[in-house]
A = this chain, B = another copy of it.
Amino acid sequence: MSDKNMHIIADFQIIPIGAGTSLSQHIAECEKILEKFELKIVLHTMGTNIEGEWNEVLAAVKQCHEEMHKKGVQRLMTSLKLSSRIDHQQ
């Protein structure tokens, strides 16, 4: 992945599959991971808005997958929106 900075706004939803119907504990663990990164984070009902550099955002999302698999979640489906613009600051 290129080292170039690219400021993005993202919307991140991670769904553990086969880990029961209660997802809140998993989501909470994932939020703790996101907070370790240099990102602006705002939770909403169906996901998390993330603002920061592309590489930092995607490193955080990858770590969520890695940690949740480590804790035994067999299957994960992430839905991610990534918005970038060059006309003016987001």
Contact = CB atoms under 8 A, between A and B. Distances in A.
Contacts of A61: 82
**Oligomer copy total:** 4
A76 B84 contact: yes
Interface string A37-81: 000001011110101001100110111011001000011111111
Contacts of A79: 79-81
A: contact size bracket: 35 or more
Contact of A21 (B10, B80, B85): B85
A54 B66 CA distance: 11
6 contacts: A1-B59, A2-B66, A42-B45, A44-B44, A74-B86, A76-B84
